[in-house]
A and B are shown apart, each in its own frame.
Chain A
Amino acid sequence: MTAANEALTALGLREMGERLARRAASSRELVDASLARIAATDAAVGAFLKVVPERARARAAEADARISRGERRSPLDGVPIAVKDLFLTKGVETTAASRILEGFVPPFDATVVERLEAAGAVVVGKLNMDEFAMGSSNENSAFKPCRNPHDLSRTPGGSSGGSAAAVAARQVPASLGTDTGGSIRLPASFCGVVGVKPTYGRVSRYGVIAFASSLDQVGPIARSVEDAAMLLGAIAGHDPRDMTSSTRPVDDYLASLEQGAKGLRIGVPREWFQGGVDAGVERLVRDALARYEKEGARLVEVSLPHTRYGIGAYYLIATAEASSNLARYDGVRFGLRAADARGLKETYSETRERGFGPEPKRRIMLGTYALSAGYYDAYYLRAQKVRTLIRRDFDQAFAKVDVIAGPVAPTCAFRLGERTADPLQMYLADIFTITCNLAALPGMSVPCGVHAETRLPVGLQLVGRPFDEATLLRTARALEREVGPGPEPAALTSARGGAA
């Protein structure tokens, strides 16, 4: 990788946009640099399931033509970007990291992809993930694992592992992921980047392969709060094709970004600090809180008493919805079909048996059980009531505070294979992120330092009121001004300085 390319891939989203506007760099150069970086590092990282160089270069050429005509469409026009392989991309294979969708080429784009491409962003590839967004480590990808660019023996987190790793590895300045129980925030924390899960309904779900319909949300991952805010602004807003998307106007997230933390009331949930969090992680989180106080924010203790029931409620509701959403993968109209099966019934069960990995199967089973006759009331229905209680906890807290802060996860990135034997162990990684999805609130992770012992990045989680992403971003920015962005991907420096 040449030094020039290096310099380009170190740029953030806004910076790239500015270079393009000044004609100090072309889209072709930026895209080529991104592709070169991917080529040099992705054998180690495994962030990409598919790279589309031809397509990307063609779009880059179009962007350059526009720019030279003075017809730049947006600050994102000509900037390379990548999206989780959960988003349908017209004409480009989309698999949800599952064998059951291997070879599936969608005839339409997800709305968010349409919006990005309409803004001129150049999609360079589809990112690795846990199969059907089910997982917290990207180890459930049917194709290959993804590794943490800061320590290749560790997971990048999941399910949007590839989305976070690609940004941390400087393969792209920003990416899109999805978050159902923490799947943007967790990998963002583990990879030392910024990840935002917007309020449910803020961003369109049309064309996003569904895992849990009442929990899934699309969000940006980037290396700075500002970049994340830019990207969010580009994709947010009502979509007439999604009846669960909100008609509220989209705030100008950049306008309030630099307001600082002074006067903010920051809620610190007692239940998030009752042990069970790694000492080094908690230290960093508390340091961040202390910084906020110094800035003039007021820390207020709040209580979210139903936190502990979040995992249970989630693994009934999300799996129930998933068991239904995944019923369409039956080998009839698209995707894998077990051609050697005899008869229709066998075709269904053989196709699904072969096509789904262990985690989707586990969740389909759990969800089917939770909805089945005799169990619906005790499981699914009860979980939905507990969900209301969880939401009420937050509503009550937000009567006293503007934003809630705490850890994203109990630990920093764990090693590959460390938790794969025990699903429940893996699920418990989501303890702090999951209630935010259940309550349909916006949440994000912003780097708050590097773990004293492991030197791995740690993120601070912020949760906000419905549709108050602006306050979240402003609060995150205030910390970023103090502690700076996440660390450089140490594990990849050896890849630097290699062949041009």
Chain B
Amino acid sequence: MALSLEEVRRIAQLARLRLGPEEESRLAVQLSAILEHVAELSTLDVTGVEPMTHALAAGEGAPLREDVVQPSLAPDVALGNAPAREGTWFKVPRIIE
């Protein structure tokens, strides 16, 4: 199951990773090798098998949260790790719609 460079670029785009050309080729090779191992899964018969998307069995967890307002963070704390801010806004490069 070989991954083309084009596919690698498509995935990198989706994942917002700016890969260098060397990285791209390396990843193409490495990911292809992993996918080859993964391909073994396709030999299994999974007809009628439910996916195990949740690891905690039903009923193990707690009832839902009540609709009560809890204190929010002070804005300085909320923005405490912000790389850039303007007043109490998170500042980012211009968003072009």
Contact = CB atoms under 8 A, between A and B. Distances in A.
A and B touch in the complex (CB under 8 A): yes
Interface in A363-391: 364-366, 368-369, 372, 378-379, 381-389, 391
Contacts of B44: 306, 309, 382, 386, 389
B84 interface: yes
A348 B16 contact: yes
Nearest to A212: B55
B23 to A, nearest CB: 8
A344 B46 contact: no
Interface string A286-329: 00000000000000000000101101110110000001000100
B92 A201 contact: no
A410 to B, nearest CB: 16
Contacts, number: 175
Contact of A387 (B35, B52, B56, B83): B52
A114 B86 CA distance: 33
Contacts of B65: 240
B92 A347 contact: yes
B49 A332 contact: no
B15 A368 contact: yes
Contacts of A313: 41
A458 to B, nearest CB: 26
Contacts of B34: 315, 366, 423-424, 427
21 contacts: A107-B73, A200-B56, A308-B40, A312-B41, A335-B81, A343-B93, A345-B16, A361-B19, A362-B30, A365-B12, A365-B27, A366-B31, A369-B3, A369-B31, A379-B38, A383-B41, A384-B51, A387-B51, A388-B49, A423-B34, A427-B34
B49 A369 contact: no
A440 interface: yes
A350 interface: yes
Nearest to A386: B41
A247 B50 contact: no
Given A311-B37, A312-B37, A312-B38, 15 more contacts: A201-B61, A247-B62, A309-B40, A312-B40, A312-B41, A333-B81, A334-B82, A336-B83, A345-B16, A384-B51, A389-B44, A391-B52, A424-B34, A424-B37, A427-B34
Contacts of A333: 79, 81-82, 90
A26 to B, nearest CB: 35
A333 to B, nearest CB: 6
A316 B31 CA distance: 11
6 residue pairs, one from A and one from B, having the closest CB atoms? A384-B51, A334-B81, A337-B83, A349-B18, A385-B46, A440-B55
B11 interface: yes
A31 to B, nearest CB: 28
Nearest to B62: A247
Chief secondary structure at chain B's binding surface: loop
Q: Specify which of A312, A339, A382 lies most central, judged by the most chain B CB atoms within 10 Å of its CB.
A: A312
B49 A385 contact: yes
A491 B11 CA distance: 44
Contacts of A238: 62
A352 interface: yes
Nearest to B56: A201
Contacts of B82: 333-334
A381 B53 CA distance: 9
B69 interface: no
Q: Specify which of B19, B34, B57 lies most central, judged by the most chain A CB atoms within 10 Å of its CB.
A: B34
B28 to A, nearest CB: 10
A334 B14 CA distance: 21
Contact of B90 (A244, A312, A332, A385): A332
A330 interface: yes
A80 B74 CA distance: 32
A248 interface: yes
A362 B27 contact: yes
Contacts of B61: 201, 243-247
Contacts of A391: 52
Interface residues of A, number: 75
A117 B53 CA distance: 33
B62 A309 contact: no
A410 B61 CA distance: 36
A200 B55 contact: yes
A344 B18 contact: no
B50 A382 contact: no
B60 A248 contact: yes
A337 to B, nearest CB: 4
Given A107-B73, A309-B40, A423 B30 contact: yes
A353 interface: yes
A312 B40 CA distance: 8
Given A361-B17, A388-B50, A344 B92 contact: yes
Contact of B17 (A214, A353, A385): A353
A143 interface: no
A365 B17 contact: yes
Given A349-B18, A361-B17, A246 B60 contact: yes
A424 B56 contact: no
Nearest to A387: B52
Contacts of B37: 311-312, 315, 424
A285 to B, nearest CB: 25
B18 A214 contact: no
A352 B12 CA distance: 11
A51 to B, nearest CB: 22
Nearest to B18: A349
B81 A372 contact: no
